Chains A and B, each alone.
Chain A
Amino acid sequence: MNLPRFADVVVIGAGAVGAACAYFAAQAGLRVAVVDRGPIAGGTSSACEGNILVSDKEAGPELSLAQYSQTLWRGELAEFGHLWEFESKGGLVVSAKPGTQENLTRLAARQRNVGIDVELVDAANLKDYEPHLANGMAGGAFYPQDAQVQPMLAAAHLLRLARGMGATVHTNTKVTSFVRQGDAVTGVVTSQGTIAAPAVVNAAGTWGAAIAELAGVDVPVLPRKGYVMVTEPLPELVRHKVYAAEYVDNVASSYAGLQTSPVVEGTRGGTILIGSSRERVGFEKSVNPLVLAEMANKAIALFPFLADVLALRSYSGFRPYCPDHLPVIGPDPRAPGLWHACGHEGAGIGLSVGTGALIAATLTGTAPAMDLSPFAPERFDSLRQEAHA
């Protein structure tokens, strides 16, 4: 499709977050053009598990955004749920040791205080949830709100719906620079031509820092690599998303070396997905078998039957990671006309729709549904200045 010369808003990035921004902006009546240097959902959206989780988040701004997103996934977007295979499967967090269970209990209490549904599970009752779980676990917690979607379909259908409301989508269209008037961003120059627009949204995910740099602003998004393994298709042996309590720690940590924590879940197709790993190795794509081995090892410790199950493939991707683990959402005062919607780390699918709705609100000048200040793009500047001082 030919590039339009004008748009009300250009969204850079056709992943889940960009698609959600385009959907809500188009719904708000804006003329939207989405550009991506690759295909639809070709980046991190195509290399993840499609998590919509509340269980792995401490009470705070990210959990609030997760809760807001839940109201959208389960509310106005519910009619499309079948298109992206929305499944409210529930999450079971498992503790191997009594000490871990005590910590999990305290986390659950804090989450419950802010409105999360969570049921503590005694060791004796764990197998009611997961009959094939290893023996000897200390306990767990069950989160009925944890859900999953097929992330590529979520992005593709949100874009399809946005097109139905007048948006245009341009793949293989790489942004090479911004059109500026003084500090202000007034459009994008791409490999396929220029689009003039009073607003541009940086939804480039893990590559968001490079887009920000084109506009001369600093948004410190870094890649945090992760693998997923996929098994042979099996009858349903794992009912929920099941993970060890240490996963919450690893999600929240900033450690640059390799961390793995077991995450095991069945899918509708019968395959079992096995995660997770975290390492900061830049955009290094090569496969490290020792990471896969450690993930396999830990998954087997959670579900012993997995030892004899065949792994058919693995994939890896790069989570967009910010130093404070919070996404960057909202207008950038350093470059008026530029909005950011990136840096969601491993939670981008779940948080995409909330992010899109918040961006659309700020684009149209309506009050956003929640306070955006914790996600402010310029929040890292003061940290840097302190560090330099």
Chain B
Amino acid sequence: MRLKNKDLLGLEYLSKEEIELILKTAVPFKELFTRSIKKVPTLRGKTVVLLFYEPSTRTRISFELAAKRLSADTVNISASGSSVEKGESLIDTGKTLEAMKADFVVIRHSMSGASHVLARNINPSVINAGDGSHEHPTQGLLDIFTINEKKGTVKGLKVVIIGDIAHSRVARSNIWGLTKLGAEVVVCGPSTLIPRDIEKTGAKVCYNLDFALKNADVVNVLRIQLERQKTKRLPSLREYNLLFGMTKEKLKLAKPDVIIMHPGPMNRGIEITSNVADGAQSVIDEQVTNGIAVRMAVLYLLAGGKSSPES
């Protein structure tokens, strides 16, 4: 069993078996973190380029640590201070990196589909680290890994995703992955932030938080993307907080062993209160740890059997 494509662009394009393979592969990588030397020589001599057109802290550092713990070399490129500012196109930048013999290009871009354009045009493995409001597959995978680790399974669980579904690539990757593994996914938020056709992905929609939380096994709270609120889809942050903010009281509506997740960075006091974010049911810090293990698994699996035809 191995991954079919040279790239990881989204969970929509992975089979259930491929997702399970990545989750299984991540387990021994996580075990490495308990050692005093957290580095293994698996990808020695490989080059991973981190091409980030949008700001990012945790995803970029997580990918960089994942690559380094596999002994690969990493190069960082951000939009400002590079030839992107001079107007170089995405494909030309990709071709340049290919000519420099990069083995992996990890890309974050504000345009949905940017990673697909890159993947079609260059030979290195392209990993989507977030493209517009389309997908963020490794975040989806690390969320699913965390749920699986805490609950033992994903199948049959009720997972509620709260917030700005319209702009959220995290939500979309979670929905694709979780529904493939047999979870019930409910999205909840203001109607202005829920796309009309989201049910086609397999998720259910609920506009009332109290109702959505009933019997929930997992609550994934999304960040209100303040930078994307210029179109005035929310009357006010205070109203959002009152109707959809995750508080200790609201949490009581879910199952007693519910776990709380957040992809970060958090707006404390808006979408989540501090006593929930730091409470006993929160697995937010573990998501960050698991993210490195999952990204190591993705790099490892993409490194093997690359571009070989079915034989």
**A in complex with B:** no
- Residues of chain A at the chain B interface (Cβ within 8 Å): none
- Residues of chain B at the chain A interface (Cβ within 8 Å): none
